Each structure stands twice: as C-alpha cells, then as structure tokens.
Amino acid sequence: MAALSFTHNHQPSDNRRGGSHNHRHGPIVEEIEGLIKVFNDGCVERPPIAPTVSATVHPSAKVTAFDIKLSNDTWARAYIPDAAAFSPSVTLPLLVYFHGGGFCVGSAAWSCYHDFLTDLAVTARCVIVSVNYRLAPEHRLPAAYDDGVNVVSWLMKQGSNGGYSWVSKCDLSNLFLAGDSAGANIAYQVALKITNTSKNLKGVILIHPFFGGEARTFSEKQQQSKSSALTLSASDTYWRLALPRGASRDHPWCNPLVSSSARLPTTMVFMAEFDILKDRNMEMCKVMRSHGKRVEGIIHGGVGHAFHILDKSSVSRDRIHDMMYRLRNFIHP
C-alpha cells in the first residue's frame, strides 16, 4: 500500500487502509490512533480524517480563491478579498499561512482550514497564501521549513518580475507569517531564516505553536482536557516522526528556548486555556520579551488546542471572532 497523501487535485493517492493489507508492511512502529500509522517497511498510512475541498467559495463569501502549483511536492491556496480582487488600485497585506498537524498530517485543502481562511481573509483584510508543505516522516524536518522559505521567495520574485497578475493585489512590503500548531512552528522557523534578508517581514502570528522539550511543563503533566485535541502522547509521537533521526526534544527546532529568537520581528502568540502547550507558549513569550522583542500574548479561556479549526461550539465561535479581529488589528495597526 502506498502512503496516503494529498495531491494537487486533493485526491488521496491510495484509499486502502487497515484490515488485511497491514501484513504486507510488517508491524506498526509508530501510531497516533485515527491519524497516522507508520509501518516497519517505511510505508505510511493516513486515514482521510477531514474532508478535502476545492478552492471554490460561495459568492457570498466575498473572496476569490484558487490553487497554485509550485512544484511536484508543494502547492498553495490563495484567498483574495473582493475588496482587492475587483479594485485595480487596492493592495492588501500578504499573510502566508501554514496549517497544523504535527508536521505529519493535514492539508491546505482540508475544509476546516478552507473555511477559516476564507473568513479570515475578509475579516483581517489581507491576501492569504496557505501553503501545502511536505509531510513527515517521509520528509522530516527541515523539509517543511525549506518549503516555507521557498514559497516566500517565490512570492517575492513574482512581485519583482511582474509574474502572476494576482500578486499585484499583494502589498509585498507588508508580509506576515502565520500558522497554527506545527504550522506556527514552521512560521517561526521560516521567520528566523528570512528575517536577515527580508525587510518586508512585518510580523509573525503564532496560534497555539507546537514546541516541546525534554523537561515537562506543568500544563503538559496535567490530565488531558476533553476540550483539547492534542495529547502528550500524540505530541511525543509527532516529534519522533518529524525531527531528524536520533534528535531529542531539546533540538532547537522543537525547543526554541535553547536558541535565540532575538531576530524575530513583532510577534503575536495565541494560547488556549486547556492546551497542554499553554505553559510552554507562555514561557516562550516571556523569553522573547526578555530579548527586547514586542510580543503580544493572548490566552483564550474555555477552549483547547486548535479550537479555531476543530471546535464548533458557541464558546469557540466567540473566541474565533475575537482571534480574527485581533489578527486584523495586528496586521493593520
């Protein structure tokens, strides 16, 4: 059985999974139930846990969306608010977004991301490019970081050489990087890589950033809340699959506190009360502030990890509304 993956047209390359096919690959060596199985022979199975959708949006959304093929391995989905799409003189800030999924699962075509970013583009008044990067363990880190850097570089080149017409709707001098969970980790690392060479990067937005460390924090030790999607066991498995072989959770890609973040621009960090990562994220904000950086930290109560794409409750909807307007104010100070 081939690894289940999402191609540019968002169709799984192989829908076979589980059952009598497992013996072909030997024993399972890593598993997060319902999300990913890694077999002894290196084959990877990802059940279709979320619907994948095309770039089509309803006319009432007031957004134009379309997909861009960047290479054989990566593509992106762009969202342009009608305010810019149909107004020749209007340009908007550019937000490059990275989806979550522990570096191992997820897609820019997942309906939860498509819906969230469609709304965010209008509310925050920005052009969004959502990156579909390579996944681990087939492509361990730094593959996702390299994909992020390449997408940003490609966008800047399009702006300078008069490439795709839609790029003219982007104010490339107002670039922001954002993501949730592992995607926030990617945004952070991409920012570190480009900040010395790009004066266009104005800010970084980290939603429940996925970091770790060998020492456990208080919130990681607590009993997992039913209101949060990320467990400590799943977190550890993601890191084993994503980091270079043999690396510990104190690798700087996992634990940013072992290296300097002083080069980052202004940063906004969203945290969730029931997220096991809350204490680690709070400590990260504290360290960044100690380096003299402007960091705005927001904790949303009553919700868990990645609630903005996973939780449909009324409490979550209120928090999502607050998140989007804070994002707008960050992008348009």
What b/e readout covers 47-62, taking b as 16+ CB neighbours within 10 angstroms? beebebbebebeeebb
- To 5 degrees, how large is the angle CA 109–CA 130–CA 198? 160
By C-alpha distance, which of 216, 184, 185 is closest to 280? 216
Catalytic (active-site) positions: 181
* Token pair recorded at residue 222: 């607590």
Please confirm whether the linkage preceding 142 is cis (ω < 30° from 0). yes
* Token pair recorded at residue 272: 């969730």
